[in-house]
Amino acid sequence: MSASSALSLLQTIFGYDRFRGRQAEIVEHVAQGGDALVLMPTGGGKSLCYQIPALMRPGCAVVVSPLIALMQDQVEGLHQLGVEAAFLNSTLDNNAAREVEQRYLRGELKLLYVAPERLLTPRFLALLEHTPAALFAIDEAHCVSQWGHDFRPEYIGLSLLHERYPAVPRIALTATADAATRREIVQRLALEDAAQFVSSFDRPNIRYRIVEKDNARKQLLAFIEREHDGDAGIVYCLSRKRVEETAQFLCANGITALPYHAGMNAELRARNQTRFLREEGIVMVATIAFGMGIDKPDVRFVAHIDLPKSLEGYYQETGRAGRDGLPSSAWLAYGLNDVMQLKEMIESGQAPEAQKQVERQKLNAMLGLAETVACRRQVILAYFGEQSADCGNCDNCLNPPTTWDATEAARKALSCVFRTGQRFGAGHVIDVLLGKATDKVKQHFHDRVTTFGIGTDMPEAGWRSVLRQLLAAGYLQTEPEFGGLQLTDTARPLLRGEQALRLRGLPDKKRDKTERDKKRSAASQDIAPQDEALWQRLRQKRRELADEQSVPAYLIFTD
Ligand code: ADP
Ligand code: MG
Ligand code: ZN
């Protein structure tokens, strides 16, 4: 068991010249019987980290893997290399399963892939009693994290392996590795004494870009047509409905797009996945149900038309682009509604407060990335505990974003939220700022709404951007019951004029009207002449307040 035998296995069996990154160290450590936790980005080459030790140690390695399709791919791949491997999962009938078990007992297998629920059955544990495993590999180990979106309850039971077979080395592998998830994996899988191998999470060939959402589908289409015509890619959406609609929209515009989500029947889903893997230039439109373990080297872009819930999720999803190392894009369109919707989902959810707290932190990290004016890669890597210089290959590095002094605009927006009673969504608040006499505005109009029409110097898109950034930065929050906007304590110094604020975007007046602006101004009319009485009352009120306070009357002071 020497490094050279590991290397010769790599070369003769797998046909690769040399180990990548920390593979050699990891292989050596596990082959010699050590426990390991391996954090390596998607496409980094985690499989070899247990496949080669499996060939170096006597006996058969047991690999826990959460996805049936993944197991089959890997076993097929190993067969082609001449390695004796098999899987046990729900696709096998009783006879076939028995046959695999017999081969294991006869010592004919080098790798046995097992679904987690099956591993923990008395029948499988009896096999392990009879013939101890050479090692246990726990792939996609983040599935043990209750707060991640890939949570698999059966993974929790895997700590049993350590209790029962303390002498068998274990290697847990994942591409999801923020500090909290890492701690959870260590604790739940009893890996306190395992060596940790943390690779760099940088994927230098991926160009990150985050754009402000106006009409997501049109923006997506333009992005694909301009930069990825004919390329294979993945488009992530938040809901099944959006998946269906977006796939149809792309198809109608001449792009070969296929839908994928958990609501589709298994057969169609499998068919779409196979087409995506085998054919060229297919765009998969999917929920996050798609992608774990998919090994397609030439995915040229990953697009998100809805904001992901966490930075880890975003990183993992975008990591499916460019596994072959060639230039690839990660493109995200994001807007005010995304922030409102995700915050609301957390606040109105049934989860216990401690979990909500974690969800908020995860979302905030994602929002931090979306709003940053610094290098995107730097922000991503910092989240995984790595320091880096400006990358030169993200939107912010290539076109440093403009910022503008938004202090006054922010004070107006925050005041308007307060004056309208901290119970309305962004649409209504913006209507009031813009002085639009919609039915809802008229219905709720009263003397205290001194913020009516104070924002006519900026179009709707500008206000949406301001509210979005105020929400993302925590000056505003959504209240749990109806999702209305509310001030937080952070807003106080800003309102009191003790703090200035710069936001990203265009200086407001130079903003073009977006499509949404055009639509909305067609739908609502500005204050009509017959509302003159309303205006007079308002002006009078403002004068009174201004006399009392000698400051712009719309400003509120929250102390
Ligand atoms: P992960 O599980 O970390 O996402 P995989 O184990 O699926 O990654 O490997 C990704 C790709 O990289 C595979 O096609 C694999 O064959 C290839 N690969 C892994 N290690 C090496 C290596 N040392 N040299 C060349 N290619 C490698
Ligand atoms: Mg893998
Ligand atoms: Zn950069």
What's the confidence (pLDDT) of residue 549?
54
In contact, 306 and 320? CB cutoff 8 Å:
no
As a 3-state breakdown, the chain gives helix, strand, coil percent values, each rounded to 5, of 45, 15, 40
Q: How far is CA 413 from the centre of its chain?
A: 29
Ligand nearest to the CA of 42: 1
Judged by DSSP in three states, 400 sits in: coil
Atom of ligand 1 nearest to the CA of 40: 3
pLDDT digits (tens, 9 = 90+) for 145-164: 987 778 899 999 999 999 99
The protein residue with its alpha carbon nearest to ligand 1, atom 9, reads 45
What's the confidence (pLDDT) of residue 555?
57
Token pair belonging to 477: 């929050």
- Is the beta carbon of 233 within 6 A of some atom in ligand 1? no
**Regions of the chain short of the pLDDT cut 70:** 1-4, 446-449, 506-535, 537-539, 541-559
Ligand nearest to the CA of 392: 3
Model ipTM value: 0.98
What's the confidence (pLDDT) of residue 519?
62
Token pair belonging to 501: 């604020």
The protein residue with its alpha carbon nearest to ligand 1, atom 12, reads 45
- Is the beta carbon of 291 within 6 A of some atom in ligand 1? no
What's the confidence (pLDDT) of residue 518?
60
- Contacting residues for 548 by C-beta, under 8 A, at least 6 apart: none
CA–CA gap between residue 234 and residue 300 (Å, rounded): 9
Residue among 270, 235, 239 nearest 255 (CA): 235
Q: What is the CA radius of gyration of the chain?
A: 28
pLDDT digits (tens, 9 = 90+) for 21-62: 899 999 999 999 999 999 998 878 999 999 999 999 999 999
- Is the beta carbon of 44 within 6 A of some atom in ligand 1? yes
- Is the beta carbon of 46 within 6 A of some atom in ligand 1? yes
In contact, 440 and 431? CB cutoff 8 Å:
yes
- Is the beta carbon of 461 within 6 A of some atom in ligand 1? no
Whole-angstrom CA distances from 472 to 238, 295, 396 are 19, 34, 18
Q: Which of 13, 19, 20, 171 to mutate to test the pocket of ligand 1 (most atoms within 8 A of CB)?
A: 20
Ligand nearest to the CA of 47: 1
The protein residue with its alpha carbon nearest to ligand 1, atom 21, reads 45
Q: Which amino acid is at 364?
A: N
Atom of ligand 1 nearest to the CA of 295: 7
- Is the beta carbon of 16 within 6 A of some atom in ligand 1? yes
Residue among 538, 547, 501, 543 nearest 419 (CA): 538
- Count of beta carbons in the 10 Å neighbourhood of residue 161: 22
What's the confidence (pLDDT) of residue 542?
65
pTM for the predicted model, two decimal places: 0.78
